[in-house]
Amino acid sequence: MNNRAYVFPGQGSQSVGMGAELFESSQAARETFEEANDSLGFPLSRLIFEGPAQELQNTANSQPAIMTMSIAAWRTWQEMQGSKAMQAKAVAGHSLGEYTSLVAAGVIDFSDAVRLVRKRGELMNQAAVNRPGAMAAILGLNELAFEQICDETGVELANINTDDQIVISGDKIAVARAMDLASARGAKKTIPLPVSGAFHSSLMEEAKEGLAHAVRSLDFKNPKMPVVGNCDSRPLSTGDEIRAELVNGLCQCVQWKDSVRHLVGSGVTQFVEFGSGGVLAGLIKRIDRGVKVSTVSDTASMRKLAESGD
């Protein structure tokens, strides 16, 4: 019985040198990095492998870089498994990772997807210049406490990652005030995030028109396996649903906790994260300690997963 979900990380999981071992050892990975280079018209792989880190962190670069790394890992896994490769029960991704999940589900070609997320990053960068903002992760408060802080400060919920880890987004002064309030009300930790803008908030509103135009120009097929979306934590089944999800997701909260719980409720007992960093694996274990979680980022981790027999 297939009880496995494939999940894909979002922005912040990038690191200089990620995927270099895959590039050297796997034809599928090498072709993926070269396809990204050709699709974008510049050597993205060189930036990923060599840096500089500050340039890789730029939203317009990090988004296609993270997607390319994840798809290189996913394709390498398919290559290694061959006829034994198991189709997932479902796929999901965190923010940017949702776009990667669409590639894995056969909704959109990788070459189109990597150009789309490059455009998404450029639009988000420009929106951040025009309406500057900030984001912060808050640990140790429940959702009700956050909603009260949002009402008092004007910040918005950007990511509900676990029961006690929520990311807020908004005007820089409002975010700073919200962090102070959270600390005063018992938060274990408040962490300002190194991002260029207030993503997943209304400050990204001006980016929606450009993204809507970009997604309308592409062919979206019906998914080959269920894709659980970020906004409502439910499966997306048609091209129109997926287009609306991607555009609305710029300003709406990423409901990652509910997405994982939906997957577990549908019978998923094992999550495989494709990409670097292991961020999602850590979040999933905090959401449900009863599931198995693996992160696949190089051939050694793939061999370990294959040998586990799960």
Residue 309 clears pLDDT 70, i.e. is over it:
no
pLDDT tens digits for range 37-74: 999 999 999 999 999 999 999 999 999 999 999 999 99
Q: Is the peptide bond before 64 cis (omega within 30 degrees of 0)?
A: no
Residue 7 neighbours by CB under 8 Å, 6+ apart? 91, 92, 93, 94, 97, 101, 271, 272, 273, 274, 280, 284
Domains of the chain (ranges; CATH) run 4-129+206-308 (3.40.366.10), 132-192 (3.30.70.250)
Mean pLDDT of 156-182: 96
Helix, strand counts (H, E) of the chain: 14, 10
pLDDT tens digits for range 290-301: 999 999 999 999
149, 181 contact by CB (below 8 A): yes
Average pLDDT, the chain: 95
Residue 99 CA to residue 275 CA, distance in Å, equals: 14
Which amino acid appears at position 227 of this protein? V
pLDDT band at 310 (very low <50, low <70, confident <90, very high): low
Residue 270 clears pLDDT 70, i.e. is over it:
yes
114, 72 contact by CB (below 8 A): no
Write out the DSSP string of 82-116: GGGPPPPSEEEESTHHHHHHHHHTTSS-HHHHHHH
Residue 238 CA to residue 220 CA, distance in Å, equals: 8
Distances (CA, A) of 202 to 96, 198, 205, 207, 228: 17, 8, 5, 10, 23
Residue 1 clears pLDDT 60, i.e. is over it:
no
pLDDT tens digits for range 183-202: 999 999 999 998 889 999 99
Residue 92 clears pLDDT 90, i.e. is over it:
yes
Q: What is the pLDDT of residue 295?
A: 96
pTM of the model: 0.96
Distances (CA, A) of 54 to 62, 76, 274: 10, 28, 23
Q: Indicate which residues carry an active-site annotation.
A: 95, 200
